[in-house]
């Protein structure tokens, strides 16, 4: 008897969780991803601010699933899904027939119709994004060290983070610590008070998914790090070296986008209904409407939550959905999916964080310590846990950022005034 073939598109939190739950069961599994590694996205901002190296938060998919004899891994992208034939067509031209399909292709940045902004304000979804941001931040500091023009030097030392969710708050706090503490002692003309970090949020407050009291504490904590918080102000326009908030123009050479996400084209591939963010609207069993053998999970899916709205696009949701779909395929459950919310956390730099566990809410050092322990625990692999734990301990004691490497080309037009004059 032929064993059922399960195809999983995407090796993020949801896809990898499903693959692990199906490992060594009576099914054949093929997992497809455009990258050969699984990425722990919650710590990408630490790569972007030189606290961690990419290898600390990523691991090869093949290594993670090496013990799963029934799972094979393909490095490829999705071109189309032919549901009538139960077939996935890949970018390489290869075709995969499936008995069950799990679509977990994640999300990308959303610039709300202004995709031209992407070249000037990169988002943070991949290792490439993180290293590109690290390049911009560190290069700006290097240029500022020898820049003699006062206005240009101030622009080089101005960093604008757009988006006041957890990623934006964490990024702004990390940049403030990097520019004011970690590198100022290594430079001769940059002092802790030279840099300017601006955090912009269009909503009335930061961390809209957190209780208002915790959000207020987070704002105070990030402001104590020297970050300027601008709430209730949407970006009107931005360019390579500026951002405009209403009538105000801020000159800055480093802009970072953390304001929105857009789902992958899964809804188009499946010809399925979607929400405003492009997520496939699924039922409480996570099936795509009209497709009994197709599931959508994680950032790809708009799954109804207990309060009526869709569940948030966070790692715990995706991981629980992946395990649930695996149980569905194996016939171990027929119940509806129910998300167990264990709470949310956001860190705001050294010794500062907020944590919401419903009735229990924490802030300050206890929340920060819990955040560190939780993130080390959820990393994939002992090596990553040990490396990150030791790196964080060293950073805490010394303020050093060991991953301060500038890679790639240095644009000639970004050269400081002293170098231009010397030329």
Confidence check: pLDDT of 322 > 90: yes
167 and 255 housed in the same domain: yes
pLDDT given for residue 416 in this prediction = 42
* Domain shared by 202 and 247, yes or no: yes
My answer on whether 91 and 232 are in the same domain is no
Inside any domain, residue 265:
yes
Query: Residue 303 in contact with residue 295, Cβ under 8 Å?
Result: no
Which structure tokens are listed for 336?
Answer: 């509806």
The reply to whether 166 and 281 lie within a common domain is no
Let me know whether 315 and 239 are in one domain: no
Q: Is residue 104 located within the same domain as residue 133?
A: no
Residue 411 within any structural domain of the chain: no
Residue 19, in any domain of the structure: yes
157: number of Cβ within 10 Å: 22
Q: Are residues 348 and 360 in the same domain?
A: yes
Q: Which residues of 352-371 are buried (b: 16+ CB within 10 A; e: fewer)?
A: bbbbbeeeebbbeeebbebb
Residues 224 and 93 both lie in one domain: no
Could you tell me the CATH number of the domain that includes residue 387? 3.50.50.100
pLDDT of residue 91: 97
pLDDT by residue (tens digit) across 258-275? 998 899 999 999 999 999
Q: Is 206 contained in some domain?
A: yes
> Which is catalytic among the residues 25, 145, 170, 201?
170
pLDDT band, very low/low/confident/very high, at 349 (cuts 50, 70, 90): confident
What's the CATH code of the domain at 100?
A: 3.50.50.60
Domain count, the chain: 2
Is pLDDT above 70 for 41?
yes
Q: Does residue 364 share a domain with residue 234? A: yes
**Residue 409 domain-assigned (yes or no):** no
Annotation marks residue 170 as catalytic: yes
pLDDT per position as a tens digit, 374-422:
999 999 887 889 999 999 998 887 777 777 888 777 765 444 444 444 4
Same domain, 241 and 354: yes
Among the candidates 330, 360, 383, a domain finishes at 330
Tell me which residue has tokens 């988006």: 163
pLDDT band at 190 (very low <50, low <70, confident <90, very high): confident
Do both 266 and 383 map to the same domain? Answer: no
pLDDT average, residue stretch 267-296: 96
Determine contact, residues 28/6, Cβ cutoff 8 Å: yes
Give the residue from 256, 311, 285, 195 showing the smallest Cα distance to 44: 256
CA-CA distance, 222 to 215, in Å (whole number)?
11
* Owning domain of residue 292: 5-34+76-109+261-330
pLDDT of residue 260: 85
Residue 335 lies in a domain: no
- Statement to judge: residues 119 and 13 lie in one domain: no
pLDDT of residue 106: 95
| In a domain? residue 231 | yes
Choice among 81-95, 212-226, 242-256, 396-410 with the minimum mean pLDDT: 396-410
Q: What is the pTM of this model?
A: 0.91
What is the rounded distance in angstroms from the CA atom of residue 225 to the CA atom of residue 181? 10
Whether the predicted pLDDT of 4 surpasses 80: yes
pLDDT-based confidence at residue 1 (cuts at 50, 70, 90):
low
127 inside domain: yes
- Please give the pLDDT value at position 417: 44
């Amino acid at each position: 008897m032929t064993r059922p073939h399960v195809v999983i598109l995407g090796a993020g939190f949801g896809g990898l969780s499903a693959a692990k739950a199906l490992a060594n069961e009576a099914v054949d599994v093929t997992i497809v991803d455009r990258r050969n590694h699984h990425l722990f996205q919650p710590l990408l901002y630490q790569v972007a601010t030189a606290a961690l190296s990419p290898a600390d938060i990523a691991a090869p998919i093949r290594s993670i699933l090496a013990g799963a004899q029934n799972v094979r891994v393909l490095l490829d992208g999705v071109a189309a899904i032919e549901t009538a034939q139960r077939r996935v067509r890949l970018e390489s031209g290869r075709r995969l027939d499936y008995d069950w399909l799990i679509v977990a292709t994640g999300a990308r940045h959303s610039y709300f119709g202004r995709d031209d902004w992407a070249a000037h304000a990169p988002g943070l979804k991949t290792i490439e994004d993180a290293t590109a941001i690290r390049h911009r931040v560190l290069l700006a500091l290097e240029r500022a060290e020898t820049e003699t023009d006062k206005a240009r030097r101030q622009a080089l030392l101005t960093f604008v983070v757009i988006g006041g969710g957890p990623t934006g708050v964490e990024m702004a706090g990390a940049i403030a610590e990097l520019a004011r503490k970690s590198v100022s002692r290594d430079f001769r003309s940059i002092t802790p008070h030279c840099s300017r970090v601006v955090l912009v949020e269009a909503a009335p407050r930061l961390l809209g998914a957190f209780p208002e009291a915790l959000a207020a504490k987070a704002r105070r904590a990030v402001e104590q790090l020297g970050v300027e918080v601008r709430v209730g102000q949407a970006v009107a326009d931005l360019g390579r070296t500026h951002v405009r908030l209403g009538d105000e123009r801020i000159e800055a050479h480093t802009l970072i986008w953390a304001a929105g996400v857009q789902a992958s084209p899964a809804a188009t591939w499946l010809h399925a209904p979607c929400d405003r963010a492009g997520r496939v609207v699924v039922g409480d069993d996570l099936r795509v409407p009209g497709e009994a053998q197709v599931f959508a999970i994680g950032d790809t899916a708009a799954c109804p939550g207990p309060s009526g709205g869709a569940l948030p696009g966070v790692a715990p949701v995706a991981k629980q959905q992946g395990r649930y779909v695996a149980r569905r395929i194996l016939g171990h459950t027929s119940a509806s999916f129910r998300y167990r919310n264990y709470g949310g956390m956001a860190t705001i730099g050294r010794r500062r964080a907020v944590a919401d566990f419903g009735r229990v809410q924490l802030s300050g050092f206890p929340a920060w310590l819990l955040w560190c322990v939780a993130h080390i625990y959820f990393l994939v692999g002992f090596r990553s846990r040990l490396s990150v734990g030791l790196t964080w301990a060293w950073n805490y004691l010394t303020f050093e950022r060991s991953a301060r490497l500038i890679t790639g080309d240095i644009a000639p037009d970004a050269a400081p005034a002293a170098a231009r004059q010397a030329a």
